[in-house]
Structure 1
Amino acid sequence: MAMSSRWVAEIERYIRGDAGDGSPRGSMPGHSIYRVPQYIKNMTNPDAYRPQVVSLGPFHHGDPALMPMEKHKCRAVAHLVNRSGRPLDYFVAVVEEIKLQLQDTYENLEDKWYQGTDFVEMMLKDGCFLLEMARAFEQNGRVEDYEPDDPVFSEHGCLYLFGGIKSDVILMENQLPLLLLQKLIGAAYNHDFQLDRILKIKPTREGEWLVYLRTKTFSGNKNYPQIRRIAV
């Protein structure tokens, strides 16, 4: 039976380890954040897979119901940058440097996220927001550089938003790459640590995965946030 020469040539390239795109033989894209298959959503409640308070990452970015939290993300960036003593451009450059790796993390990323600066802006705002929320939760909302009546980063904000944000953070389609958090932590707190020195990931009895900071490494920096019981 005759076979297409083009098909044979393509398979031969894979056998030689040359897929034509620079990737090694047998390699797959580095996706680690996926969309929930539509048939699963159809079998259950589609709203159960959608964030209710805040979007993290590209899959639900721009949802009108989640837009009110966007202005608070900008405030989170401002506070984290001011506390670091470094310019905003430094943080933008840090995220820009790993942009391709972050994009590859997401399965079926829309074409619009490969154009312009929107992807870097979103990653910076979402990453800073998550770190600032973790800091506020750890301190029970009593954070010194936010006003006591702050609608998000305060005792009041933690009381009313913690449950909703925690539920949103564990959603499969509402994730941030750990690489992003590593780089932002290094930029904000003047440390350049490997990921396994910063974050500890462990399962719980409830089947969740929790992210912890290995805080003993940073005992000399009182501003370093201790992330505890933040599920991913």
Structure 2
Amino acid sequence: MINQAYSNGKFQFLNIMDIECKIPITKDEDEDHHQYFDGRRIHRVPKLVRFSKHNEEDYYAPKLVSFGPYYHGLPELGAAEEFKHKVLTMFVPSGGKDKQFFYCQIFKVIDQLRNCYVGVSREAYDDGALAEMMLLDACFAVYLMKIAVGDEEKIIHFCQHLGLSVIKFAFIDMYLLENQIPLWVIKHLINLIYGEGSMLLCNFFSSMILENTRLTRIPGEDKKQPLHILDAYHRLLVEEWDKAGKILVQPVNKCQWRPLKKENQKEFGKFSRQSRSVTDLKAKGIHFKPSSCCLMNISFKSYTFYGQVQLPVWLFTSISKLFFINMIAYEASPKSDTGIPIICYVNLLKSLIVKPEDVKELREKKILFSTLVSDEQVVEVIKEIDTCGLDDYYIFDNVKMRIEEHCNNKAKTWIAELIHTNFRNPWTFITLLAATFLLCLTFLQTYYTLNPK
């Protein structure tokens, strides 16, 4: 049984397991808890994906804190593991009876918790050790959520024990695919601590959205609640929600793998869209405008002499590559029911942004924002995000097709191409004006020479 914490360079046994769970589990409670596990599991990332050509470092392993059994007990995560006990004390009164109550609430659903993971045997973690781990991890997740929504007491507490310099890594570790715990466990613990009416989860998810939107429901809660925090964030990005949790932008269709039959080979040509960068499209008279923070909210309108593409707003930071890599791994996980919309969005970015000038154009249009040093770094980040060769040609196909039709229409693009070719800088424009002026003077001089008064 692995039931240890790393402290002062040595492993020490914990004390929660000393609490014996004596609270009886009634038949009704057992039936209620059975609803939590719906068959979805938190999978490990395949080795071939983990260390691809762009992944020289492991983007799936936590740097500060572990959530769940996959990275539990690593010595380099020992400081945060020890700190979890202090966090538990903040939320749960120090009396043994209260700790027993919270521990037993987790213990009641331990079989369902174990089923959420792959390869977590009782030899590695018996029921007691796994229940203890989940209680500490869920409590720490609630603690970080309180920090995210601006709880000053929790922020000061974190800085006093682990330091302000590492707080970023704690939140990064919350979004790693292999470093997740079921969201229903966190929700259950929040209800036990704050009551059924707590808005902590909604406030936390609202803080993850760039737009000033305050959710009153967890996205998709009425259908199938998110498996974990990464899944919830995925839903926030690919489906646009109002405050009541209602979808404003419909999700894209799931990826459908269809073999190319001989009788359908003529249709394959319609998916062969020419990749055009932002600057190439601008030369064709296509302008860009921000849509929303939903990554699927992409549209195109063609007018008489110009076109307009609406693209979602995105902020590139030092962790954007790590985030996209984990999101892509989640979409590509076994038995995933998410489709591959994030993968398709990244593929679209790769076609639109190939040089710093493309980034500059989207920055000026308030579509891309960045905390990176230069536009060149944004280009490199996008190039290094590996989509594993996956794509769904049906997603965004209507937009790509209409853009291609606009670009191939000479009547709609000739003015834009003329302006782009001849007026790329003010000096060219001034030169053309000067030449036109001289031409007019020459014409007038010739006219009056031939027609004197």
- Which residue number in structure 1 is paired with residue 85 of structure 2? 74
For residues 38 and 148 of structure 1, the distance between their equivalents in structure 2, rounded to whole angstroms, comes to: 34
Q: CA deviation at 1:192?
A: 7.5
**TM-score between both structures, scaled by the size of structure 1:** 0.63
Q: Structure with the greater relative contact order (CA < 8 A, sep ≥ 6): 1 or 2?
A: 1
Q: Which amino acid aligns with 1:41?
A: R
How far apart, in 1, do the equivalents of 2:119 and 2:131 lie?
17
Measured in 2, the distance between the counterparts of 1:75 and 1:148 equals 10
Q: Give 1:198 deviation, angstroms.
A: 6.2
* Rounded Cα–Cα distance in structure 2 between residues aligned with 1:148 and 1:198: 28
Equivalent pair of 1:31/1:105 in contact (CA under 8 Å): yes
Aligned length: 176
Deviations 1:94-148 (A, max 9, x none): 1011111111111222343552411000000000011012112322x61179659
Provide the alpha-carbon RMSD of the alignment.
Answer: 3.6
Runs of at least 4 residues off by over 6 Å: 195-198
* Distance in 2 of aligned mates of 1:144 and 1:38: 37
Change (3 A) 1:61 1:76: same
Aligned match for 2:218, one of 189, 199, 209: 199
Note if contact 1:56-1:169 (Cα within 8 Å) is conserved in structure 2. Answer: yes
Quote the residue 2:11 is aligned against.
none
Q: 1:40 corresponds to which residue?
A: 49
Match of 1:18 in 2: none
Matched letter for residue 177 of structure 2: M
**CA deviation digits over 1:62-103, x for unaligned, max 9?**
1111111111101111111139xx811111111011111111
Q: Say whether 1:61 aligns with 2:62.
A: no
Q: Distance in 1 between matches of 2:40 and 2:57?
A: 23
- 8 Å contact from structure 1 (residues 51, 174) kept in 2: yes
1:170 to 172, 175, 178: 175
Q: CA deviation at 1:184?
A: 0.3
| Matching residue of 2:161 | 151
- 1:180 and 2:190 matched: no
2:152 aligns with one of 131, 142, 161:
142
d(CA) in 1 for partners of 2:191 and 2:111?
19
Q: Per the alignment, in what secondary structure is the counterpart of residue 93 of structure 2? A: helix
- Using a 3 Å threshold, how does the CA distance of structure 1 residues 148 and 180 change in structure 2: closer, same or farther? closer
Gaps of 5+ in 2: 1-37, 203-215, 220-231, 245-322, 328-453
Identity %: 25
**Contact between 2:65 and 2:173, CA under 8 Å: does it hold in 1?**
yes
Task: Please say if residues 92 and 99 of structure 2, whose CA atoms lie closer than 8 Å, have aligned partners that are also in contact.
Answer: yes
Q: Looking at CA atoms only, which structure, 1 or 2, has the larger radius of gyration?
A: 2
Task: Kindly indicate whether residue 133 of structure 2 is the aligned counterpart of residue 122 of structure 1.
Answer: yes
